[in-house]
Each structure stands twice: as C-alpha cells, then as structure tokens.
A and B are shown apart, each in its own frame.
Chain A
Amino acid sequence: MENLPLVPLIPFVSAALLIATAGRLPKMVVGLLGAGSIAVAGLLVLNIGIEFLRDPTPMSIHLWTWISINEFKPAFAFYLDGLALVMMSVITGVGFLIHLYSTEFMQDDASFSRYFAYMNLFVSAMLILVLADNLLLMFLGWEGVGICSYLLVGFWYQDPANGAAARKAFIVTRIGDTSMALGLFLLVAELGTLNILEVAEIAKERWEVGATIPTIACALILGGGLGKSAQLPLQTWLPDAMAGPTPCSALIHAATMVTAGVYLVARNHELFMMSPLIMSAISIIGVATLLLAAFTALNQHDLKKILAYSTISQIGYMFLALGVGAYSAAIFHLMTHAFFKALLFLGAGAVIHCLHHEHDIFKMGGLRKKLPVVFWSFLIGSSALAALPFTSGWYSKDEILLATWSVPTLGPWLWAGGIAGAVLTAIYSFRLVFVVFWGEAKTIPDKQPGLRMSAPLIILCVFSIVGGLINMPLEQVFPSQTNAHAAGPVAWITMTIAIVGVLVSYLLYLRQQINVEPILNKPALKKLRYFWYSGWAMDALYDRLLVRPYKLTASLLKTELIDRFYNLIVESSVASHRALSITQNGKLRTYAINLVVGIALLAAFLTGIV
C-alpha cells in the first residue's frame, strides 16, 4: 500500500528520462523504458489491488501539504478506494497493452522517443487524476492529460491540419476546464476546502438539496466533465483528435482520458446529488449526445472517425447512467468500454498500418481472410460495442438501460432514447465489420501485424468477452441502487435489441437484400445524410457563432489606438537606426572626410569665424 505514490511516479520518471535524452537513446531502450515503466506500474497496481481486496478499507497517503493559505490547505495526497483501484487497473492494464502495441506500430517513426515520452507523461497525469484526494490535485492531473492530449494529437506536426486539430482539442476542452476552475473557486469560497470527502460532508450539512449554490457549483464542474468527455455541447473536438497516432487515440481518446468526465461526476456523486436539476440535465445530455453521435457514426466513412463518434456515443451512455444515479453501472460501462474500444482502435490501427495508411472503409473490403487476427478482434470488439448478448458491453449497457427505465417520470423516455441508440450502435458497428472484412478486396495488405501488435489484440479480445464478469469493488463507494430493476418485456427488449440492429445491418450491408440506394439518393434525404455526416453541422454552427466573431474582433483590435502609439515608437527608433547606420559604411576615405570636415568646423567655431 505504501507503494501507491510509486504508481504515478514510475511513468513520470520514465517520461522525464525520455525527454532529457531527447531521442538519443536507441529504439530498443526507448521501447523497454516506455512500455516497461507502465508494466512495472501495472504490477504495482496488481499488488496493491490484491492487498486492497483482502482489506477493503479506503486509505489516504499524505505526501506533503501543497499550498497553505490560512484554512485552505490542499495536500499532495493520494486516496485509494474501490473506484480509484478500478480506474488505476484500467489505466495501467489497458495502457500497458497499448504501449506494447505502440512499440511495433511506431517502429519506423523518427520521433519514436518523443512519442513514448508523451505517452508515459500522459499515464502519469491520468494516474494522478484518479488518485487525487482533493479536487485541486485532480485538476493538476486533469490539465496534465489535457496537455498530453494536445501534444499527441499534434504529434505529426509537419502537417498543419494536425496542428489545427490539436489546437481545436485544446481550446474546446479549455472552455470546459475554465468552467470547472470557476466551480472549484466557488467551492473554496463557500466550503473552504477542496478535499473530496470533506466537500461531500460539509455540502450535506450546509446546503439543502436543490438549493441554488450547489446547483451552480455542480453545473460549473460538470462543464469541465462535458469538455473532457466530449459531450454536448463541447463534443466537436474528439473527431478531429483522430489526427494523432492510432494507439494514442486508443489510450487517450477512447479508453482513459475522455472518460475522466465520468470519473469526475462519479467521484463527486455526493455533491452532484445535492442538485437533482443537474442530475437530470446530465442524463438528458447523455441521451442527446449518444443519439447525435450514433447518427453521425452511421454516415461516416473514415474508419477512425466512426470509432470516435461511437466513443462519444458510448460516453453518452455513461453520462445517462450517472444522471439516473447508476454510478456503478457507469463505471462498469467505462471499464468494459475501455476494453472493447481500445481493442477496436488497436484493430483499426492494425488495418491502417497494413493497408498503407488507408482510412476510408469503402476502399477496404475482403480483409477477413487476409488479416485473420484483426478480423476476429474487430468482430469481438464490434459485438461488445453493439452489446450482443454475453459480451462485456452487453452486461454494462443492460445495467444502464434497466436502471434508466425505473427512474420516475423521465425514465421511459430516456430508456427509449437509449434503446434507439443501441439499435443504431449495432447497425453502425456491424456496418464497419461487413464493409471492411467482407466483400471484394480493394486494397491488398502489404504486411501482417507482428507479435507485439497481435498479443495486445488477443488479450483485449479475451477481456472484451469476459470483462462483463468482473466484480468491481464499488459497494463502499457508491450508494446501493434503491430503484427496483425492470422486469418482463422491458428487460427482454433491453437484452435483445442489439440483435435487431445487427440483422438490419446484415441485410443492408452484407446481403444487400433491401436496396435503399434510390431512397437515400433523394435530395431531401441526401441533405439530411450530409447533415448527419457533418456531426449535425455543429462545427459550422460554432464557426459562425463563435470563431468568426472572435477573429473579427481580434483583427479589429490588432490596429487599435494604443497599439498604434507603441508601434510608432518602434518605427521611429528603427528609422533613426537606419539613418545612423549609413555613416558606418566601412569606407575609410569617407571617415577621413568626416574627420576633416568636423575639425574644420570645430576650428572655425573656436576661432570665431562662424
């Protein structure tokens, strides 16, 4: 247990080493350091986990007092409970597999060492985020993962488009983070502490459920979660973030960082329960996001963007679960999603790797026989994503939807939205499988994934199937579910709805029994499809609403009066410098003439002629 601070420290030291050596180490050593540090951290977590399960009392390790201002003393302290353990296991476990995969995927990249430096730094920051015992330290990790996400999205910085995507990811999440920081200020001002346990305790004493101040505080903190987890209305950055290397998308933009918002709400659930209004807002945002993203995923044809929108959609399910108070179901879905989405992203990476960096699914096809390992991992990953019975996603999504149904008044509506989303999920995830792996081959793979790429895929396959059976030690963290679970037809529909989606997808994309082309090509529907394809035109909306007015103001302010005054000083100084530098021309005879004229003038002046 005393090893707990070592868990984030080891990846941090490794990142520091890789940064300090600036790519001078041989690739072999970089790979060992990069993946090895995560492996060691993972083994430590395993050790801590075994100890914790034997004696499941939450504990806190106080390292030092970070800041001390009167009564406000946030500590550099780690807090270990069931939730932190689950998150740590996911981060180091899935993280290690992705690092191992990266050693082969990034093999030919010139910036091999820089990549692992960022990835290790990310893992370290993410571990601080989930282990922090107060919101300030959590915010440190929160911003740490943000900067690593920025660095990794813009990893191939030679292409300006990647830089633009990185800036977009950074700025959009920054809007959420600003809101979160304001929320933290409010908590400090009102409660005088940021310690998560103390906040929950004092909030219950001081505030009434549904009062104004907790509602504002929760709304502001939720803003941070929405930004980080790419939920409405801050979801636009995630599809662009696919510009980064695929394994980093798997780790950051699927398995861990984007689920930080879910963790944030779950960790502070006692605070959020003070505001039923915000809780229903969370569930409605969740449903809206999951439907919106599912429709968009259905129309995309970039392999990674489909997965990105499906990530947004699945996090929508987690928010739905949080909103209806099914916290452990949300964390359960977070974990299973980490398994199968990492699997899908790594599979996608393998496809892209073996097909000369092809991203368009309609230029693939027939890969079932060519890339068998990738095919099976995609099939298993998509089954889990679609929540086909007895895969890991099925257990967690069922739990969410059944908990949603039993919520009074709003419940059935939210449930219907979730069910519609589940059908769409099944359709688009199997569309992906059918288009890429069946049909005629359009691009021939020029290599096969090696052992270091296949092994993580196979391990994640196993977890995507049996991950639903893992029993998480969350009983002490979250209040037990009071709502009775739905039974009868509702339960049956919830459990089997995915099969309908897969059948539809099968008929549409594989058998092509139903010919929908003429209907789809009608002008009105074409427009609608384009509207969905563009992510409900959110990017264009924000561009008109925010980006352009901002740029206009900036360009107006560029030439404002005060700046002009200072520019004048600069310009006159430059001009006089130019004038003086003419005299320094290096021509000896000019110097001599100047000298003579000067002496003559001086003599004339002194003798009184002038």
Chain B
Amino acid sequence: MNPLIIPLSHVLMLAALLFTAGLLGLLIRRNVIFILMSLEVMLNAAALAFVGASAHWGQTDGQIILLLILTIAAAEVAVGLGLVLQIQRRFKTLDLDVVSRMQG
C-alpha cells in the first residue's frame, strides 16, 4: 500500500470545511434546490473523510462506505427532486418558508 502523500489531517480538515459549508448552506438557504445541493456537499464531505481514513490505514471498509453513501445520495436526490417538482407545481415557489402552512 502506497504511503499517503497528503497527510490525513489535511484531508480531514478539508472534509470538515466542506461539511461546514454544506451545513451553513442548509441553514441559510431558503431555496429547496440549494438545500438539496448543500445536502450533497455534506454527504460528499463525509465520504471524503471515509476515503481519507481508508487510505491512511490501508483498509477497504471506508471505500465500501463511499459506495453506500453514493447510492444513498442517488436515492435522496431522486426523492428530493420529485418533491421539488411537486412543491413548484403546488405553490408556484421554491421558498421553503413560504411553503410552511403550520400555525405554531
């Protein structure tokens, strides 16, 4: 197994940065499509951390998890885009705050 050229700490830091960017996007954005994109970023940040760790310790488990995350992301996007279409059709907007109908 080749020794890793990039140190693990850098990989994890990049993953953490990507995750935070995704989380902030999720919290700040109101458009459903951008929220879905932020979710993708977060998923991929997690996947990056797995891959980095897998390379560092020379274990394949992390890469298998990556495959799992990819399938989950695909499924999530399929459902998510379906919801986006429905929301657009019903409410003529993609703003999530407008869509909320609860009085609480």
Contact = CB atoms under 8 A, between A and B. Distances in A.
Contact of A585 (B26, B30, B35, B100): B100
B7 interface: no
B67 interface: no
Contact of B104 (A583, A588, A592): A583
B104 A582 contact: yes
Contact of B102 (A584, A593, A596): A584
B96 A587 contact: yes
B27 A596 contact: yes
Q: Give the interface residue-count category, chain A.
A: 10 to 19
A587 B97 contact: yes
Interface in B49-104: 96-97, 100-104
A587 B100 contact: yes
A589 B104 contact: no
A593 B104 contact: no
Interface string B17-36: 00000010011001000010
A589 B96 contact: yes
Nearest to A585: B104
Interface string A576-608: 000001111111110011001000000000000
Interface residues of B, number: 12
Contacts of B97: 587, 589
A596 B104 contact: no
Given A583-B104, A586-B104, A593 B27 contact: yes
A588 B96 contact: yes
B100 A588 contact: yes
Interface in A541-596: 581-589, 592-593, 596
A44 to B, nearest CB: 64
Contacts of B30: 589
Highest count of chain A CB atoms <10 Å: which of B100, B101, B104: B104
A586 B27 contact: no
A10 B81 CA distance: 70
A586 B101 CA distance: 7
Contacts of A587: 96-97, 100
Contacts of A582: 104
Interface string A52-69: 000000000000000000
Interface in A516-539: none
A592 B100 contact: no
A427 B97 CA distance: 83
A585 B27 contact: no
B25 to A, nearest CB: 11
Highest count of chain B CB atoms <10 Å: which of A582, A583, A592: A592
A369 to B, nearest CB: 70
B48 to A, nearest CB: 19
A344 to B, nearest CB: 62
Contacts of A589: 26-27, 30, 96-97
A589 B101 CA distance: 14
A581 B100 contact: no
Nearest to B96: A588
A588 B102 CA distance: 11
Contacts of A586: 100-102, 104
A518 to B, nearest CB: 73
Contacts of B96: 587-589
Contacts of B101: 586
Highest count of chain B CB atoms <10 Å: which of A581, A585, A589, A592: A589
B90 to A, nearest CB: 15
A592 to B, nearest CB: 6
A241 B27 CA distance: 71
Contacts of B27: 589, 592-593, 596
Given A589-B30, A589-B96, A589-B97, A584 B104 contact: yes
Nearest to B102: A586
B40 to A, nearest CB: 15
B32 to A, nearest CB: 9
A581 B26 contact: no
Given A587-B97, A589-B97, A581 B104 contact: yes
A581 B103 CA distance: 9
A596 B100 contact: no
A581 B102 CA distance: 10
A593 B96 CA distance: 14
A585 B101 CA distance: 8
Given A587-B96, A587-B97, A592 B102 contact: no
Nearest to B30: A589
A562 B101 CA distance: 41
A345 to B, nearest CB: 58
A345 B97 CA distance: 70
A585 B100 CA distance: 8
Nearest to A578: B104
A381 to B, nearest CB: 66
Contacts of A585: 100, 102-104
Nearest to B38: A592
Nearest to A593: B27
29 contacts: A581-B104, A582-B104, A583-B104, A584-B102, A584-B104, A585-B100, A585-B102, A585-B103, A585-B104, A586-B100, A586-B101, A586-B102, A586-B104, A587-B96, A587-B97, A587-B100, A588-B35, A588-B96, A588-B100, A589-B26, A589-B27, A589-B30, A589-B96, A589-B97, A592-B26, A592-B27, A593-B27, A596-B23, A596-B27
Interface of A: 581-589, 592-593, 596
Interface of B: 23, 26-27, 30, 35, 96-97, 100-104
- Listed from nearest, the 4 A-B pairs whose CB atoms lie closest are A586-B102, A586-B100, A585-B104, A584-B104
Given A585-B104, A587-B97, 12 more contacts: A581-B104, A582-B104, A583-B104, A584-B104, A585-B100, A585-B103, A588-B100, A589-B26, A589-B27, A589-B30, A589-B97, A592-B26
